[in-house]
Structure 1
Amino acid sequence: MKSTTASGAAPALKQTLSTLQLWGIAVGLVISGEYFGWSYGWASAGTLGFTVTAIFIAAMYTTFIFSFTELTTSIPHAGGPFAYSKAAFGPTGGYLAGAATLIEFVFAPPAIALAIGAYLNVQFPALDPKLAAVGAYFVFMTLNIVGVQVAATFELLMALLAIFELLVFMGVVSPGFSMANFTKGGWAGQDSFSLASIPGMFAAIPFAIWFFLAIEGVAMAAEEAKEPKRSIPIAYVTGILTLVVLAVGVMVFAGGAGDWTKLANINDPLPQAMKTIVGENSNWLHMLVWLGLFGLIASFHGIILGYSRQIFALAREGYLPHFLAKIHPRFNTPHRAVLAGGVIGIAAIYSDELIKIGGQTLTANIVTMSVFGAITMYLISMLSLFKLRRSAPAMARPFRAPFYPYFPAFALFGAAVCMATMIYYNPLIFGIFTGFLALGYVFFLLTRGSREELAIYDAV
């Protein structure tokens, strides 16, 4: 890894993150997915149909993470998937993986910020949720700029508090839990399974993915890990297991608390589920709203860290304007990359007419856009793993994917199923997604010469 020098060598990041902090990032990146977003899947699939979808997606993510960890430990680079795909398929592969990852990580934060605004609006009805979302951007962009150690420690604290809050939620609603509530109309509005239930289960895929979306962001902190070859596998494996258990618990207890159909199209399903058990004025409800913010903040804050490292890595390699690779002289963080992603996210929050497509809410469409980026990256990453196993058999692999080739093959299959069904159910959003990729590819072609010059300079 190159270090920053007065002569202008490639900017680098400091290795300061511990295994526990990486676990905190892994869980924190994702844990907002347990608080909101997933319940939109109930609208099309019902509780039982969505459970089947979620189990399939959980299996895909588990096999993906075990496989992805091989790439992360072999190539510990802030660009994550960009670096793996570039090693496997050259600059064009690197561009496609990097651009897809960037879309995933830039579009996820505005959805989470809107949920933060919705949670605050429960406590302060006069507060505009969008204004609160923008305020969240300013606060947590600042915290990310101040330093990665501060950011990672804060992320760990938020993740622990968020887990505690989810356990409190399950405990508080458990006295009123009824499996009959959960199963009523559980197959897309019907009480029993039929072939008519299947389309809704496929349509719910993006919202099942939201349970686990962005856990791969730990890869973008690889350059800042003290012992990436040891700590990253531990963080990934324990992180995905933690999230699977929490996802199942939250979904089942929320659905069994009352009429689940009232939770299917809102940004704050947990407070609303608890309200049916404890009443509108209960201190438990107010505590859930306040502590529930920790989960949203953990993911919001962590994904800002993730998108900033992706922008930084792409800019450092010449795939984005090079000025975005500037590191703050005092805090040693990619401050320009942090701000650039924030500008796009804030614009998305106020782009109702552009993003409110197909009768879905603004949040649902932002989630879908982010998921398109994620699935594209998953596909390319698994293909990269297979390619590098063949083309670079001597590469150091501190962690090897277990049950190879079956685990990565299942992850690849699952991602392909997700992509096909998402395109079918969201053609217009997919068109916008491919439009972003196409615009980026034009920039990629126009800047080929400058990247070649940069590569020659770095080699010297």
Structure 2
Amino acid sequence: MTGTPAPAGQGRLQRRLGMADAVVIGLGSMIGAGVFAAFAPAAAAAGAGLLLGLAVAAVVAYCNATSSARLAARYPASGGTYVYGRERLGDFWGYLAGWGFVVGKTASCAAMALTVGSYVWPQQAHAIAVAAVVALTALNYTGMHKTIWLTRGIVTVVMAVLAAVVVACLTSGDADPARLDVTSDATAAGVLQAAGLLFFAFAGYARIATLGEEVRDPARTIPRAIPLALGLTLVVYAAVAVAVLAVLGASGLAAATAPLADAVRAAGLPALAPLVRAGAAVAALGSLLALILGVSRTTLAMARDRHLPHALAAVHPRFNVPHRAELVVGVVVAILAGTADLRGAIGFSSFGVLVYYAIANAAAWTLTPAEGRPARVVPVIGLAGCLTLAFALPVFSVVTGTAVLAAGAVAYGLRRAFTARLT
């Protein structure tokens, strides 16, 4: 079996994405706003031990990426772990993964939109956030080609800004290697909490898998693109973390409201700070673009199975995108971004994504060698790591995440009972 086809009449998405496109989408998803914001709360949790947290998050992310890549090659359809859980573990587990992803990532979309607004025009953050959502939804609606073109530009700009930050900090006379002592004030609990927070920044490689129906030669492309994008991201994040810690120290980084901008100021280059802020806005825009793509494709897959309104399963005959799903996601995100302050949703989103990948690892465990199963240790470490990091997050994130998943499970049960009564 190479994937579950769309039911007749719904339409299939076209396979337009090659290796370079898939890697760019992964980089655009991962090298986003998280690198500009996630290091501060991680430093507050673990001090310089955030470097250990970064390593832990990277190991878990690697296992998740490997499991997801093997599953995506086997089931190259839109929906990611929603599809894998359904096919390998049963309908409920696929539904739970999809529910957590759609709800959590919709909140993340609003948070990223507000991040764009806060960097571009803080006094009108909500208005800018709504405008950004409308613009990117319109762009996605017109087809994948324009989305890839914009993502390439965003990745180029953000990588250039991050390179400037690293060079400025590491060549500064204020950089002190002693500030990188990971054993100075770190605890095991702090390192795990930092890893859970930093995992948010790595989670974007799922976008490659959720777009599996649009990737050319997915059995070959996806297993290569996911680890390549993840590896490049890890190198970039490690370099930025070391550079910023060397200048600010753990306490300075923990207290920073704009860590990378504060780092270049401390390095003696305050003129670079506006460029960093602009880079952060562009990075948040890239994350928002990738998030809307991922949520709309998972919405499409769930709508095909009638876990969401079946009308959302439509594919545009000209632009070949799930246009109704994209419009609905755009409207919901725009309303949230215009009316609420959801930047605190990062922890909740991390919880949902970790559960999502826990299900992916459990699904990968069921693969046979003939189906491309990864080494047994990979899904074991991935599953255990996801659950450990999920419950090491701040209590509020764990409680709200658990409540949302429970609400989804109740909705699933009610729908099953209603359907059974009708039949």
* Correspondence 1:54-133 to 2 at 5 A: 54-121=54-121, 127-133=123-129
Hey, what does 2:400 align to over in structure 1?
Answer: 432
**RMSD after superposition:** 2.8
Hey, what does 1:370 align to over in structure 2?
Answer: 349
1 CA distance for matches of 2:136 and 2:334? 13
Tell me if 1:330 matches 2:318.
yes
* 1:258–1:418 CA distance, 2 compared to 1 (3 A): closer
> Which stretch shifts more, 250-259 or 372-381?
250-259
Deviations 1:365-406 (A, max 9, x none): 3111111111101111111111233xxx65x43xx52xx111
Give the superposition deviation at 1:445: 3.3
Give the superposition deviation at 1:80: 0.9
Hey, what does 1:19 align to over in structure 2?
Answer: 19
Partner amino acid, structure 2, of 1:445: G
Give the superposition deviation at 1:103: 3.0
Q: Is the 8 A contact 2:315 2:323 kept in 1?
A: yes
Hey, what does 1:192 align to over in structure 2?
Answer: 184
* Correspondence 1:256-295 to 2 at 5 A: 256-258=246-248, 261-264=251-254, 268-280=258-270, 282=271, 284-295=272-283
1 CA distance for matches of 2:245 and 2:119? 19
Hey, what does 1:239 align to over in structure 2?
Answer: 229
* 1:447–1:266 CA distance, 2 compared to 1 (3 A): farther
TM-score, scaled relative to structure 1? 0.83
Q: Is the 8 A contact 2:10 2:315 kept in 1?
A: no
Deviations 1:234-282 (A, max 9, x none): 21121011011001011111122235544435563212221223454x2
2 CA distance for matches of 1:323 and 1:147? 19
1 CA distance for matches of 2:298 and 2:306? 12
Tell me if 1:248 matches 2:238.
yes
* 1:156–1:182 CA distance, 2 compared to 1 (3 A): farther
Deviations 1:310-339 (A, max 9, x none): 111111111111122222343221122223
> Which stretch shifts more, 18-27 or 33-42?
33-42
Identity of aligned residues (%): 25
2 CA distance for matches of 1:274 and 1:292? 14
Structure 2 unaligned residues grouped into runs of 5+ = none
Hey, what does 1:455 align to over in structure 2?
Answer: none
1 CA distance for matches of 2:304 and 2:350? 25
Hey, what does 2:52 align to over in structure 1?
Answer: 52
1 CA distance for matches of 2:185 and 2:274? 38
Give the superposition deviation at 1:153: 2.4
Q: Is the 8 A contact 1:182 1:260 kept in 2?
A: no
Hey, what does 1:457 align to over in structure 2?
Answer: none
TM-score, scaled relative to structure 2? 0.89
DSSP 3-state at the match of 1:257? helix
* 1:183–1:259 CA distance, 2 compared to 1 (3 A): closer
Hey, what does 1:410 align to over in structure 2?
Answer: 381
2 CA distance for matches of 1:434 and 1:192? 34
Structure 1 unaligned residues grouped into runs of 5+ = 356-361, 453-460
Hey, what does 1:149 align to over in structure 2?
Answer: 145
